[in-house]
Amino acid sequence: MNLKRVVVTGIGALTPIGNTAAEFWQGLSTGVSGAAPITKFDASLFKTQFACEVKNLDVEQFIDRKEARKMDPFTQFAMISVEEAMTDSGIDLEKIDKARAGVIWGSGIGGLRTFQDEVTEFAKGDGTPRFNPFFIPKMIADISAGFISIKYGFRGPNFVTVSACASATNALIDAFNYIRLGKADIFISGGSESAVTEAGIGGFNAMKALSQRNESPETASRPFDKERDGFVLGEGAGALILEEYEHAKARGAKIYAELVGGGMSADANHITAPHPEGLGASSVMQLALEDANLKPEDIDYINVHGTSTPLGDISETKAIEKVFGEHAYKLNISSTKSMTGHLLGAAGAIEAIACIFAMNHSLVPPTINHFTDDESFDPKLNLTFNKAQKREITYALSNTFGFGGHNCSVIFKKYN
């Protein structure tokens, strides 16, 4: 079958290290940490008292106050990042076929803040059911895609993927497939998450998943470091405009990169722990390479899932060594979660953007907070510790893995 080519023509980002795509890249390239004490609630009784929050955001600068009240923060984040991406794309809404334009978004949890607040208020009462009429629409994960499509009038395929921390990458792959199969011309895709709440921090604490380095939040996310003790919870959104190549070219669009391959797999191993030998991780990277018709030695940079958990970092590097063999030692590998924290269902979107910027700036963002070597990792691997490294990048691969054993990988090609 003659598959269509798919390119990225717009980017938007709202992250703990920058509220626009340009600010995000500036933070990545200079190794800024987004971790700090939690401001959204009193976290003094929690085992973890810090997170990577979005900072200095006035939602009403972007969304009418009345409309914003109908949205959980995860949807607000989505709308803000999408507005930037759509403006960046230069798409004239009067000149496209909106029946062939869709929205596929990702979120691992959805409206956690809304759910927590509504149930808490009910529990405080006398048992009389009093709920906000927007409770359910604000909470459900798919509402983000609904709001986006309503704003821009996109009438094509419209849904949200939910595959835990792989959700946004899953969304990108689904949008990629619809376009290359000729079923649509344009997709707004990406992901958003807003889980820095009492329930979010408390729930992940109960699992012993989060770092508890309260005395030094900015150094807490330390992938591949011997003293890593869990991930740092982040929040935000990333949006990419995916477009069929000829459609983009015909309207004179600026093209950031080409999306050339995607893979999906399952660990089928454990609800939260990765496969110890990285079985699902290795298979998903191999599937992405095959889908892109590439050899392992074609890849220059891998933006790893790299959450800073004791088991996850090890299994992922094992998988990379299995798939890439000797070429693994010629790759640049980095975890941008060392700076942004883990945005859960939005992680894949901002990390895809990180790959695209890395290609376009010939600069690999670093894995910050490396202090102590861990003998579990082959010292010949270039994990891009502490400082960005100059490198020409033609192909970049991004990994995202989620609770439940969900694995997704995407490959971007530099556009010339």
Q: Which of 247, 275, 305, 370 is catalytic?
A: 305
Residue 327 annotated among the catalytic residues of the structure: no
CA-based nearest residue to 104, from 182, 161, 163: 161
Write out the two tokens for 376: 């579990």
Question: In what helix (H) or strand (E) does residue 333 lie, and over which residues does it extend?
Answer: strand 332-334
Phi and psi torsions of 301, nearest 5°: -140, 135
Whether 407 contacts 166, CB under 8 Å: yes
Q: Which of 342, 355, 370, 408 is catalytic?
A: 342
Kindly report the number of other CB atoms within 10 A of residue 127's CB atom. 7
Write the CB contacts of 273 (distance below 8 Å, at least 6 apart in sequence): 311
CA gap 372, 56 in Å, rounded? 33
Residue 165 annotated among the catalytic residues of the structure: yes
Q: Which of 52, 165, 355, 408 is catalytic?
A: 165
Residue 370 annotated among the catalytic residues of the structure: no
Q: Which residues pair with 410 in a beta bridge?
A: 262, 398
Whether 152 contacts 93, CB under 8 Å: yes
CA gap 157, 153 in Å, rounded? 12
CA gap 350, 328 in Å, rounded? 24
Whether 232 contacts 52, CB under 8 Å: yes
3-state secondary structure of 228: coil
Please identify every residue annotated as catalytic: 165, 305, 342
